[in-house]
Amino acid sequence: MESFLNIREKINRIRFFIDRLKYKRERHFYLAVFLIAGTLCLVSVLIFFYQRNQVIVRENIISSYYEEAAVTDGVLNDSTKTVDASVSGTDKNTELKSPGKIKVYICGYVNNPGVYEIDEGSRLADLIKLCGGTGEQAALEAVNLASVLTDAAMIYIPSAEEIREGKIPAENAGSSIGISSGYTVNINTATLKELVTLPGIGEKTAEAIIEYRNNFGPFKSIEELKNVKGIGDKKFEAVKDKISI
């Protein structure tokens, strides 16, 4: 009987030992599962924050790029405006420095008498070239081809015969005669070319003066010139100091 109890006690001990092993295994298993789960959670959290930081870094990089681009564009725009302003200022200065235009009336023994627009500071030689040169009878040796032209001037190129006969003093040849030199046009003997040297007298009016003179004889007074068609009080006032009979 006693031996039977001993055997039973041994069996119980073996069972207890087996149960204890099972318990330890289960506890280790659950502990391992818990550790794995915790590790996974920790790794997930770390990955989340890492990725979030990467996104923030990328956003900062992009934001910085656009800010730098905006600043660069602003600088370029300012530079462009400055360059445009400089170019505009240069253009304005160039315009200011560029020679202006003047209008000069040339007549007498030239090929194409008339009013010409020419650069300010030009010489008489430039104007003669512009109007196509002079006629064969022109007395170029009596004019100052190097004289500087002025706006609204009237230049008369005389003939050698006029210089010889003293109709135009040599010192007045090529100047604004009839305006400042004291030279007057004799309306009883003047040719068509001489008449058109008067201010406001064109070819048609000059022809009318000659026709009137042929029909009614020489003018008795300069006031009689107002009887010519096309010459009123205003035009007469402009020429009365520049004509004679």
177-213 confidence digits (pLDDT tens): 433 344 678 888 888 888 887 888 888 888 999 999 9
pLDDT tops 70 at residue 96 = no
Tokens of residue 63, six digits: 């934001």
Residue type, 83: V
* Domain region containing 197: 184-245
If asked whether residues 94 and 4 sit together in one domain, one would say: yes
Residue type, 129: K
If asked whether residues 149 and 215 sit together in one domain, one would say: no
Q: Are 119 and 147 within 8 A, CB to CB?
A: no
Task: Kindly indicate the confidence band of residue 214, based on its pLDDT and cuts at 50, 70 and 90.
Answer: very high
The last residue of one of the domains, among 53, 81, 98, is 98
Lowest mean pLDDT segment, chosen from 54-58, 125-129, 195-199, 226-230? 54-58
If asked whether residues 126 and 76 sit together in one domain, one would say: no
Q: Are 100 and 120 within 8 A, CB to CB?
A: yes
Residue 117 has a pLDDT of: 93
Lowest mean pLDDT segment, chosen from 94-108, 187-201, 212-226? 94-108
- Angstrom distance (rounded) from CA 61 to CA 66: 9
If asked whether residues 107 and 87 sit together in one domain, one would say: no
For residue 113, the domain's CATH number is 3.10.20.600
If asked whether residues 104 and 56 sit together in one domain, one would say: no
The last residue of one of the domains, among 164, 181, 198, is 181
Higher pLDDT, 235 or 164: 235
If asked whether residues 87 and 144 sit together in one domain, one would say: no
- Angstrom distance (rounded) from CA 24 to CA 66: 62
For residue 232, the domain's CATH number is 1.10.150.320
- Angstrom distance (rounded) from CA 193 to CA 201: 10
Task: Kindly indicate the confidence band of residue 60, based on its pLDDT and cuts at 50, 70 and 90.
Answer: low
Indicate the number of domains in the chain.
3
Q: What is the mean pLDDT of residues 98-104?
A: 83
Q: How far is CA 183 from CA 51, 76, 180, 222, in A?
A: 103, 66, 8, 15
- Angstrom distance (rounded) from CA 68 to CA 71: 5
If asked whether residues 157 and 68 sit together in one domain, one would say: no
The last residue of one of the domains, among 50, 81, 98, is 98
- Angstrom distance (rounded) from CA 239 to CA 179: 10
Q: Please, what is the average pLDDT of the chain?
A: 76
DSSP assigned state of 167: S
If asked whether residues 117 and 92 sit together in one domain, one would say: no
The fraction of the chain above a pLDDT of 90, given in percent, is: 14
If asked whether residues 172 and 223 sit together in one domain, one would say: no
Tokens of residue 163, six digits: 């210089």
Task: Kindly indicate the confidence band of residue 170, based on its pLDDT and cuts at 50, 70 and 90.
Answer: very low
Q: What is the mean pLDDT of residues 166-184?
A: 51
Place of tokens 């100047």: 175
- Angstrom distance (rounded) from CA 109 to CA 81: 56
If asked whether residues 118 and 66 sit together in one domain, one would say: no
If asked whether residues 111 and 138 sit together in one domain, one would say: yes
- Angstrom distance (rounded) from CA 221 to CA 208: 17
- At 157, is the secondary structure helix, strand, or coil? strand
If asked whether residues 93 and 13 sit together in one domain, one would say: yes
Q: Are 176 and 170 within 8 A, CB to CB?
A: no
Q: Which residues pair with residue 114 across a beta bridge?
A: 106
Task: Kindly indicate the confidence band of residue 169, based on its pLDDT and cuts at 50, 70 and 90.
Answer: very low
Total residue length of the chain:
245
Q: How far is CA 238 from CA 141, 199, 201, 231, 233, in A?
A: 31, 7, 10, 10, 9
Q: What are phi and psi of 36, to 5 degrees?
A: -65, -45
pLDDT tops 70 at residue 105 = yes
Question: Which residues, 6+ apart, have CB-to-CB distance to 152 below 8 Å?
Answer: 102, 103, 104
